Protein backbone atom coordinates (compact mmCIF):
# COMPACT_ATOMS: atom_id res chain seq x y z
CA UNK A 1 0.00 0.00 0.00
CA UNK A 2 1.18 3.53 -0.64
CA UNK A 3 0.06 6.16 1.83
CA UNK A 4 0.89 8.80 4.45
CA UNK A 5 -0.57 9.17 7.98
CA UNK A 6 -2.79 12.11 7.08
CA UNK A 7 -4.65 9.95 4.55
CA UNK A 8 -5.67 7.37 7.15
CA UNK A 9 -9.00 7.80 8.92
CA UNK A 10 -10.13 5.47 11.68
CA UNK A 11 -13.72 4.33 11.53
CA UNK A 12 -15.98 1.82 13.24
CA UNK A 13 -15.37 -1.01 10.81
CA UNK A 14 -16.15 -1.32 7.13
CA UNK A 15 -19.86 -0.72 7.62
CA UNK A 16 -19.08 2.70 9.06
CA UNK A 17 -16.69 3.38 6.17
CA UNK A 18 -19.58 2.77 3.78
CA UNK A 19 -21.87 5.02 5.82
CA UNK A 20 -19.28 7.80 5.77
CA UNK A 21 -18.73 7.44 2.03
CA UNK A 22 -22.47 7.64 1.45
CA UNK A 23 -22.27 11.15 2.88
CA UNK A 24 -19.61 12.28 0.38
CA UNK A 25 -19.56 12.94 -3.35
CA UNK A 26 -17.64 9.68 -3.82
CA UNK A 27 -20.78 7.60 -3.71
CA UNK A 28 -23.48 9.15 -5.83
CA UNK A 29 -26.78 7.57 -6.78
CA UNK A 30 -25.33 4.23 -7.85
CA UNK A 31 -22.39 1.92 -7.30
CA UNK A 32 -21.24 -1.32 -8.89
CA UNK A 33 -20.85 -4.22 -6.46
CA UNK A 34 -19.88 -7.86 -6.81
CA UNK A 35 -22.83 -10.09 -7.72
CA UNK A 36 -22.25 -11.99 -4.46
CA UNK A 37 -21.62 -10.05 -1.27
CA UNK A 38 -23.11 -9.03 2.05
CA UNK A 39 -26.74 -8.03 1.76
CA UNK A 40 -26.17 -5.86 4.82
CA UNK A 41 -23.76 -3.66 2.83
CA UNK A 42 -26.16 -3.40 -0.10
CA UNK A 43 -29.00 -2.42 2.24
CA UNK A 44 -26.84 0.16 3.90
CA UNK A 45 -26.20 1.79 0.54
CA UNK A 46 -29.86 1.48 -0.46
CA UNK A 47 -30.85 3.26 2.75
CA UNK A 48 -28.59 6.13 1.68
CA UNK A 49 -30.36 6.29 -1.69
CA UNK A 50 -27.59 4.51 -3.61
CA UNK A 51 -28.63 1.87 -6.12
CA UNK A 52 -26.25 -1.07 -6.44
CA UNK A 53 -25.62 -2.75 -9.79
CA UNK A 54 -24.12 -6.25 -9.77
CA UNK A 55 -20.89 -7.21 -11.58
CA UNK A 56 -20.80 -10.93 -12.42
CA UNK A 57 -18.07 -13.15 -10.96
CA UNK A 58 -16.08 -16.00 -12.45
CA UNK A 59 -12.99 -17.94 -11.38
CA UNK A 60 -10.86 -14.77 -11.78
CA UNK A 61 -13.13 -12.69 -9.54
CA UNK A 62 -15.35 -9.75 -10.53
CA UNK A 63 -15.61 -9.13 -14.26
CA UNK A 64 -14.24 -5.60 -14.02
CA UNK A 65 -13.97 -5.28 -17.81
CA UNK A 66 -17.76 -4.81 -17.77
CA UNK A 67 -17.35 -1.47 -15.96
CA UNK A 68 -16.28 0.27 -19.16
CA UNK A 69 -18.21 -1.95 -21.55
CA UNK A 70 -21.76 -2.13 -20.22
CA UNK A 71 -24.32 0.53 -21.08
CA UNK A 72 -26.15 0.22 -17.76
CA UNK A 73 -22.88 0.94 -15.92
CA UNK A 74 -22.13 4.18 -17.74
CA UNK A 75 -23.30 6.38 -14.87
CA UNK A 76 -21.41 4.36 -12.28
CA UNK A 77 -18.40 6.09 -10.72
CA UNK A 78 -17.76 3.78 -7.78
CA UNK A 79 -17.12 0.06 -7.55
CA UNK A 80 -16.90 -1.96 -4.35
CA UNK A 81 -14.55 -4.94 -4.54
CA UNK A 82 -13.10 -7.58 -2.21
CA UNK A 83 -9.89 -8.17 -4.24
CA UNK A 84 -7.82 -10.14 -1.72
CA UNK A 85 -10.52 -12.71 -1.02
CA UNK A 86 -13.87 -12.35 -2.75
CA UNK A 87 -16.67 -12.54 -0.23
CA UNK A 88 -18.16 -15.09 -0.16
CA UNK A 89 -16.88 -17.09 -3.18
CA UNK A 90 -13.29 -16.96 -1.90
CA UNK A 91 -10.90 -16.30 -4.80
CA UNK A 92 -8.47 -13.41 -5.30
CA UNK A 93 -9.11 -10.86 -8.04
CA UNK A 94 -6.87 -11.71 -11.01
CA UNK A 95 -4.06 -9.19 -11.69
CA UNK A 96 -5.54 -8.37 -15.12
CA UNK A 97 -8.93 -7.68 -13.56
CA UNK A 98 -7.23 -5.39 -11.04
CA UNK A 99 -5.45 -3.50 -13.78
CA UNK A 100 -8.71 -3.23 -15.75
CA UNK A 101 -10.53 -1.79 -12.74
CA UNK A 102 -7.79 0.79 -12.20
CA UNK A 103 -7.78 1.71 -15.91
CA UNK A 104 -11.57 2.19 -15.75
CA UNK A 105 -11.25 4.40 -12.64
CA UNK A 106 -8.57 6.54 -14.30
CA UNK A 107 -10.48 6.94 -17.54
CA UNK A 108 -13.86 7.67 -15.92
CA UNK A 109 -12.77 9.63 -12.84
CA UNK A 110 -14.11 6.71 -10.83
CA UNK A 111 -13.25 5.27 -7.44
CA UNK A 112 -12.53 1.70 -6.36
CA UNK A 113 -13.45 0.89 -2.77
CA UNK A 114 -11.19 -1.99 -1.75
CA UNK A 115 -12.73 -3.97 1.11
CA UNK A 116 -9.84 -5.94 2.64
CA UNK A 117 -11.69 -7.59 5.50
CA UNK A 118 -9.43 -10.63 6.06
CA UNK A 119 -6.15 -9.89 4.27
CA UNK A 120 -4.12 -10.92 7.34
CA UNK A 121 -5.02 -14.56 6.83
CA UNK A 122 -3.19 -16.17 3.92
CA UNK A 123 -2.17 -19.81 4.10
CA UNK A 124 -1.02 -21.26 0.80
CA UNK A 125 0.09 -18.33 -1.24
CA UNK A 126 2.10 -15.20 -0.82
CA UNK A 127 0.08 -12.19 0.32
CA UNK A 128 -1.61 -10.47 -2.62
CA UNK A 129 -0.74 -6.78 -2.77
CA UNK A 130 -3.51 -4.25 -2.30
CA UNK A 131 -5.06 -2.77 -5.44
CA UNK A 132 -4.54 0.56 -3.67
CA UNK A 133 -0.80 0.26 -4.42
CA UNK A 134 -1.57 0.44 -8.15
CA UNK A 135 -3.13 3.89 -7.87
CA UNK A 136 -3.60 5.55 -4.45
CA UNK A 137 -5.60 8.36 -6.07
CA UNK A 138 -8.20 6.02 -7.54
CA UNK A 139 -8.51 3.41 -4.78
CA UNK A 140 -9.88 3.82 -1.28
CA UNK A 141 -8.57 0.96 0.84
CA UNK A 142 -10.57 -0.16 3.88
CA UNK A 143 -9.37 -2.55 6.58
CA UNK A 144 -11.02 -3.83 9.74
CA UNK A 145 -10.16 -5.73 12.90
CA UNK A 146 -13.43 -7.66 12.67
CA UNK A 147 -11.71 -10.84 11.44
CA UNK A 148 -8.27 -10.37 13.04
CA UNK A 149 -9.58 -9.49 16.53
CA UNK A 150 -13.35 -9.31 16.85
CA UNK A 151 -16.33 -7.74 15.05
CA UNK A 152 -17.47 -6.58 18.50
CA UNK A 153 -14.65 -4.04 18.63
CA UNK A 154 -16.01 -1.97 15.75
CA UNK A 155 -12.67 -0.63 14.57
CA UNK A 156 -11.39 -0.20 11.05
CA UNK A 157 -9.48 2.23 8.87
CA UNK A 158 -9.70 3.89 5.53
CA UNK A 159 -6.75 4.90 3.40
CA UNK A 160 -8.10 7.81 1.42
CA UNK A 161 -7.31 9.13 -2.03
CA UNK A 162 -6.33 12.81 -2.00
CA UNK A 163 -9.73 13.92 -3.30
CA UNK A 164 -11.47 12.57 -0.18
CA UNK A 165 -9.03 13.71 2.49
CA UNK A 166 -11.31 16.62 3.46
CA UNK A 167 -14.68 15.07 2.63
CA UNK A 168 -14.51 11.94 4.79
CA UNK A 169 -13.55 13.66 8.07
CA UNK A 170 -16.24 16.26 7.28
CA UNK A 171 -18.78 13.44 6.92
CA UNK A 172 -17.64 12.18 10.31
CA UNK A 173 -18.46 15.52 11.90
CA UNK A 174 -16.69 17.58 14.50
CA UNK A 175 -17.11 15.23 17.42
CA UNK A 176 -16.06 11.58 17.12
CA UNK A 177 -19.43 9.93 17.54
CA UNK A 178 -18.38 6.38 16.66
CA UNK A 179 -14.91 4.95 17.26
CA UNK A 180 -14.07 5.24 20.95
CA UNK A 181 -10.73 6.98 21.59
CA UNK A 182 -9.96 4.50 24.34
CA UNK A 183 -10.38 1.57 21.91
CA UNK A 184 -8.22 3.35 19.33
CA UNK A 185 -5.44 3.99 21.86
CA UNK A 186 -5.60 0.40 23.07
CA UNK A 187 -5.27 -0.87 19.50
CA UNK A 188 -2.38 1.56 18.87
CA UNK A 189 -0.64 0.19 21.94
CA UNK A 190 -1.27 -3.38 20.81
CA UNK A 191 0.23 -2.57 17.38
CA UNK A 192 3.27 -0.75 18.79
CA UNK A 193 4.04 -3.47 21.31
CA UNK A 194 4.14 -6.10 18.56
CA UNK A 195 1.26 -7.89 20.30
CA UNK A 196 -1.07 -7.54 17.32
CA UNK A 197 1.51 -9.06 14.99
CA UNK A 198 2.09 -11.99 17.35
CA UNK A 199 -1.67 -12.49 17.71
CA UNK A 200 -2.22 -12.53 13.94
CA UNK A 201 0.65 -15.00 13.41
CA UNK A 202 -0.74 -17.30 16.11
CA UNK A 203 -4.27 -17.11 14.76
CA UNK A 204 -3.04 -17.72 11.22
CA UNK A 205 -1.61 -21.06 12.38
CA UNK A 206 -4.75 -21.91 14.31
CA UNK A 207 -7.12 -21.08 11.46
CA UNK A 208 -4.91 -22.89 9.00
CA UNK A 209 -5.15 -26.03 11.15
CA UNK A 210 -8.91 -25.69 11.22
CA UNK A 211 -9.02 -25.18 7.48
CA UNK A 212 -6.90 -28.33 7.03
CA UNK A 213 -9.19 -30.28 9.39
CA UNK A 214 -12.24 -29.14 7.42
CA UNK A 215 -10.69 -30.16 4.09
CA UNK A 216 -9.56 -33.52 5.51
CA UNK A 217 -12.99 -34.26 7.03
CA UNK A 218 -14.71 -33.52 3.72
CA UNK A 219 -12.22 -35.65 1.75
CA UNK A 220 -12.90 -38.51 4.13
CA UNK A 221 -16.63 -38.23 4.67
CA UNK A 222 -17.99 -36.29 1.70
CA UNK A 223 -15.55 -36.79 -1.21
CA UNK A 224 -18.30 -35.82 -3.67
CA UNK A 225 -18.35 -32.26 -2.30
CA UNK A 226 -15.87 -29.79 -3.83
CA UNK A 227 -14.34 -27.27 -1.45
CA UNK A 228 -12.89 -23.98 -2.71
CA UNK A 229 -11.78 -20.54 -1.57
CA UNK A 230 -9.44 -22.07 0.99
CA UNK A 231 -6.15 -20.28 0.29
CA UNK A 232 -6.95 -17.59 2.84
CA UNK A 233 -9.55 -16.06 5.09
CA UNK A 234 -11.84 -17.69 7.60
CA UNK A 235 -14.39 -19.38 5.40
CA UNK A 236 -14.57 -22.00 2.65
CA UNK A 237 -17.18 -22.62 -0.01
CA UNK A 238 -18.61 -26.08 -0.59
CA UNK A 239 -20.22 -26.87 -3.94
CA UNK A 240 -23.37 -28.93 -3.51
CA UNK A 241 -25.36 -30.97 -6.02
CA UNK A 242 -28.02 -28.84 -7.77
CA UNK A 243 -31.18 -28.31 -5.75
CA UNK A 244 -29.73 -29.32 -2.38
CA UNK A 245 -28.66 -25.98 -0.92
CA UNK A 246 -31.83 -25.12 0.99
CA UNK A 247 -32.20 -28.53 2.54
CA UNK A 248 -28.50 -28.54 3.52
CA UNK A 249 -28.86 -25.11 5.18
CA UNK A 250 -31.90 -26.42 7.08
CA UNK A 251 -30.15 -29.67 8.02
CA UNK A 252 -27.17 -27.68 9.31
CA UNK A 253 -29.46 -25.40 11.34
CA UNK A 254 -31.17 -28.39 12.92
CA UNK A 255 -27.70 -29.54 14.06
CA UNK A 256 -26.92 -26.16 15.58
CA UNK A 257 -24.86 -24.73 12.71
CA UNK A 258 -25.70 -21.28 11.37
CA UNK A 259 -24.67 -21.51 7.72
CA UNK A 260 -25.83 -19.86 4.53
CA UNK A 261 -25.59 -20.89 0.92
CA UNK A 262 -24.39 -18.54 -1.84
CA UNK A 263 -28.06 -17.76 -2.53
CA UNK A 264 -28.11 -15.78 0.72
CA UNK A 265 -25.42 -13.47 -0.69
CA UNK A 266 -26.63 -13.10 -4.27
CA UNK A 267 -27.55 -9.64 -5.50
CA UNK A 268 -31.28 -9.60 -6.37
CA UNK A 269 -30.50 -8.29 -9.88
CA UNK A 270 -27.67 -10.75 -10.54
CA UNK A 271 -27.91 -12.69 -13.77
CA UNK A 272 -26.00 -15.81 -14.68
CA UNK A 273 -26.20 -19.29 -13.23
CA UNK A 274 -26.51 -19.77 -9.48
CA UNK A 275 -24.58 -22.69 -7.99
CA UNK A 276 -25.79 -24.55 -4.93
CA UNK A 277 -23.33 -24.47 -2.08
CA UNK A 278 -22.57 -23.70 1.53
CA UNK A 279 -20.41 -20.91 2.92
CA UNK A 280 -18.65 -22.40 5.93
CA UNK A 281 -17.04 -20.04 8.43
CA UNK A 282 -14.61 -22.11 10.46
CA UNK A 283 -13.31 -19.50 12.89
CA UNK A 284 -16.34 -19.20 15.14
CA UNK A 285 -16.60 -22.38 17.24
CA UNK A 286 -14.38 -22.51 20.31
CA UNK A 287 -11.59 -25.12 20.09
CA UNK A 288 -13.41 -27.64 22.26
CA UNK A 289 -16.49 -27.50 19.99
CA UNK A 290 -14.77 -27.56 16.62
CA UNK A 291 -14.60 -31.34 16.08
CA UNK A 292 -18.30 -31.61 16.96
CA UNK A 293 -19.18 -28.79 14.57
CA UNK A 294 -17.24 -30.52 11.78
CA UNK A 295 -19.08 -33.75 12.45
CA UNK A 296 -22.43 -31.92 12.38
CA UNK A 297 -21.47 -30.31 9.07
CA UNK A 298 -20.57 -33.63 7.46
CA UNK A 299 -23.86 -35.12 8.63
CA UNK A 300 -25.83 -32.18 7.22
CA UNK A 301 -24.39 -32.56 3.71
CA UNK A 302 -26.37 -34.28 0.97
CA UNK A 303 -25.11 -37.84 0.43
CA UNK A 304 -23.04 -38.78 -2.62
CA UNK A 305 -23.81 -41.70 -4.86
CA UNK A 306 -21.97 -44.10 -2.57
CA UNK A 307 -22.39 -42.53 0.87
CA UNK A 308 -19.86 -43.73 3.42
Ligand X SMILES: Cc1ncc(COP(=O)(O)O)c(C=O)c1O
User: DSSP character for 83?
Assistant: -
Range in contact with ligand X (rule: CB under 6 A) among 146-154, 200-208, 236-244, 264-272: 146-154
In the list 9, 10, 15, 300, the residue contacting ligand X (rule: CB under 6 A) is: 15
Decide: is 144 part of the binding site for ligand X (CB under 6 A).
yes
Does residue 13 belong to the site contacting ligand X (CB under 6 A)? yes
Is 147 a residue that touches ligand X (CB under 6 A)?
yes
Minimum separation from the CB atom of position 98 to ligand X (A): 17
21/1 Cα distance (integer angstroms): 20
**How large is the C-alpha radius of gyration of the chain?**
20
Which residues 6+ apart lie within 8 Å of 63 measured at CB? 55, 56, 57, 97
3-state secondary structure of 242: coil
Cα separation, 224 vs 226, whole angstroms? 6
Integer Cα distance of 153 and 165 in angstroms: 25
How many helices (H) and strands (E) the chain has is answered by 9, 12
Give the DSSP letter of residue 85. Answer: S
Q: Site residues for ligand X, window 180-239 (CB under 6 A)?
A: none
Three-class SS state of 307: coil
Scanning 101-109, 145-153, 200-208, 217-225 for contacts with ligand X by CB under 6 A, the matching segment is 145-153
Q: Which of 32, 83, 84, 87 binds ligand X (CB under 6 A)?
A: 87
Q: Which of 9, 10, 33, 38 binds ligand X (CB under 6 A)?
A: 38
Q: Give 89 or 100: the residue with its C-beta nearer to ligand X.
A: 89
Using rule CB under 6 A, residue 151 touches ligand X: yes
What are the strands of the beta sheet with 156-159, ordered from one edge? 8-11, 156-159, 139-144, 111-116, 78-81, 30-34, 51-55
Q: Which stretch binds ligand X (CB under 6 A): 7-15, 21-29, 63-71, 164-172?
A: 7-15
Q: Which is nearer to ligand X, 152 or 162 (CB)?
A: 152
In the bound complex, what is the minimum distance in angstroms from residue 68's beta carbon to ligand X?
25
Closest-approach residue to ligand X (CB):
13
82 is an interface residue for ligand X by CB under 6 A: yes
Report the interface residues with ligand X, using CB under 6 A.
13-15, 38, 82, 87, 115, 117, 144, 146-147, 151, 156
Amino acid sequence: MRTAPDRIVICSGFAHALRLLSGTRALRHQAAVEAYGLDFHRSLLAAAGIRTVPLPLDEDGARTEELAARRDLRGVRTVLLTPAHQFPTGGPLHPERRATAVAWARASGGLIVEDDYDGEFRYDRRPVGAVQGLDPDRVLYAGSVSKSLSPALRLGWMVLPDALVDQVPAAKGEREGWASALDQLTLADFLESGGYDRHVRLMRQRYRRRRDQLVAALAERAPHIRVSGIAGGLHAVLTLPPGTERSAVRAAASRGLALDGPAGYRHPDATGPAHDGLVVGYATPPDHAFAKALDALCRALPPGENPR
